Amino acid sequence: MSGAFFLTNCHDELDKVNPNYITTEIYFKDAEDLEKGVTGIYAVAHSNLLVAREWFFTHALRSPDYATGGAQLEAPRAQILNGGTSPDNSVVGAIWTGFYTMIHRANTVIVNGPEATGDAEKIRLMVAEAKFLRAWAYYELVNFFGPVPIYTEPVDAVADFQPRAPVADVYALIMADLQAAQAELPATRSAGDLGRATSGAATFLLGKSYMQQGDYATAKTELEKLLGKYALTDNYLDNFREETEYNVESIWEIGFQGRSDNGYNWGSGDGPTQPQSSVRNQEINPISWRNLIPSNDLLNEFETPENGAAKRDPRLDYTVYFPGDEFNNGANKLTEDMQGGAGSSILNGQPIKVSWQKYTNLYKSDSGFQPAGINTRIFRYAEVLLLLAECENHLGNQEKAVEYLNMIRDRADVMMPHYPTAQFPVATQEQVFAAIMHENQVERGGEEGRDFDVLRWIKEGKTAPPFTTYTFKPEKDFVLPIPQDEISRNPELGAGGIERQNPNY
């Protein structure tokens, strides 16, 4: 487990305490200390280990929405994209380390909260927030890796190592944490607290956790609590640009701040002076590294007259930059030659070189290197409607499911024809599910968490593996390998009856 949260490999060193460090014996004793502790959890969440880079990459590389932009894609990333992930993969190791660091810091707040002095209301909120963040970390871990070790207290000795726990046990902790957070967190945030977790974020993740476990009825009950509390933005791209962060559609987002010197922290991201930007723009921007591009599978899923639709789905042009599109506030026009890498695409049978528009700041810049300050929207309201449509269809309520889908298509700057359409009839449960899969991809193409949906559909036998860069192997590819560092460092990893490593790795 990432060296048991910073424990070294040499057991002889474990009893030594650095006299220059503040320990839990003298810290985490009042509300203000707990609040700083929670800030430390967020610091890891938005660091290079997680949302600023490696979390985005891991989701993207396991999604049918992405293809390589060319040979410049680094080897560990190409390995995941091509379905050959090995236990020593550095990207996989980074997210394991990041999430368990979050868990360790959350545990420190949760354990010390009951004994802390000061503002009782703030203490209660800090503990609830730490539980939400711990739940999110475990949700990501259990969906990426399957059975994982459970830690509910800070680890400070080798004897504290834990074995892999069954998926059901991991979810039991997730659900308990989310139910506690749901009851305690505020419904909204404002001013300097924007981006902190809310009861709505806990409710969303609770609903999605039920779905991942196949409990669609309870998921529906939870997700319906969010109806009317959020709304779709009039402009689709407001969900992916810097000036329209924390909008009516946003349920929870991780905040970033661009810098005039284009600074980016390639390490942990801890510390008050570290750059707080995301490198996502740099990775996918047409005129930057362009390491990943939209897959042909995604491009050809959008409705266009060329593939028999009555109207070109505007979301295609919001999601993707095409040659001839204006950028930099209209001062420049994109060409194929401007776009980096050799990766190209086929759209409606025609070759074309395209790039991602979502989460890039090319709309206001022409910089070739620019880590950006665009917040990552972790949960947004459109996904609530998609999940509710799926719940209703699974439970046999096709008419209600279609109603939710049409609400998404009614976004002011989308206004796609309602289902049923010539391409997507909705007379049967199977036809409605096909429309759900379609709407999920064209609405959320390239966004994190869609890969978990697709894997759930495959497990439930609702769709065939859609991956275009490699042949999906059900006996292996539902999960990633447990990092080799964890296997080497944690002597208890396989002691609970579950093998140390996932099958066939």
Q: How far apart are CA 263 and CA 274, in angstroms?
A: 9
Return d(Cα 493, Cα 165) in angstroms, integer. Answer: 9
E strand or H helix at 405 = helix 398-409
Nearest-angstrom CA–CA distance, 338 and 323: 9
Distance between CA atoms of residues 498 and 309, nearest Å? 50
Average pLDDT for the chain: 94
- What is the spatial distance between Cα 110 and Cα 97, in angstroms, rounded to a whole number? 20
Distance separating alpha carbons of residues 171 and 147, to the nearest angstrom? 10
In this structure, the strands spanning 355-356 and 320-321 are: antiparallel
* 23 SS3 class: coil
Query: What is the structure's pLDDT at 266?
Result: 85
**DSSP strand E in 111-169: where?**
148-149, 164-165
Which stretches of the chain drop beneath a pLDDT of 70?
Answer: 1-26, 268-269, 272
Task: Tell me the β-bridge partners of 379.
Answer: 252
User: What is the predicted pLDDT for the residue at 7?
Assistant: 40
501/505 Cα distance (integer angstroms): 7
pLDDT digits (tens, 9 = 90+) for 19-30: 555 565 667 899
DSSP string, 294-362: E-HHHHTTS--GGGT-SS--HHHHHHEE-TT-EETTTTEE--TTTS-SS--EEETTEEE--EE-TT--G
What's the predicted TM-score (pTM) here? 0.94
State the pLDDT at residue 20.
55
**Hey, what long-range contacts does 344-352 have (CB within 8 A, 24 or more apart)?**
345/67, 345/293, 345/294, 345/295, 345/296, 345/299, 346/296, 346/299, 346/300, 347/296, 347/299, 347/300, 348/300, 348/304, 348/306, 348/307, 352/322, 352/323
Tell me how far apart the alpha carbons of residues 460 and 451 are, in angstroms, rounded to a whole number: 14
Cβ atoms < 10 Å from Cβ of 17: 9
What was the pLDDT predicted at 267?
75
Q: Give all strands (DSSP E) within 65-163, no chain letters.
A: 66-68, 148-149
Q: Can you give the pLDDT at residue 469?
A: 80
446 secondary structure, DSSP code: T
List the structure tokens of 213: 């476990």
Contact 363, 400 (CB under 8 A): no
Please give the pLDDT value at position 4. 41
| Beta bridge pairs of residue 376 | 254
- pLDDT, tens only, 57-113: 999 999 999 999 999 999 999 999 999 999 999 999 999 999 999 999 999 999 999
Contact (CB, 8 A) for 73 and 91? no
Q: Are 44 and 269 in contact (CB under 8 A)?
A: yes
Cα(143)–Cα(458) distance, rounded to whole angstroms?
14
**Fold of the CATH domain 2-249+477-489:** 1.25.40
Q: What are the φ and ψ backbone dihedral angles of 326, each rounded to 5 degrees?
A: -80, 150
Question: Two tokens at 293?
Answer: 């591009």
- Sign, CA dihedral 55-89-353-333, equals positive
Joined together, the tokens standing for residue 444 give 């959320």
pLDDT of residue 368: 84
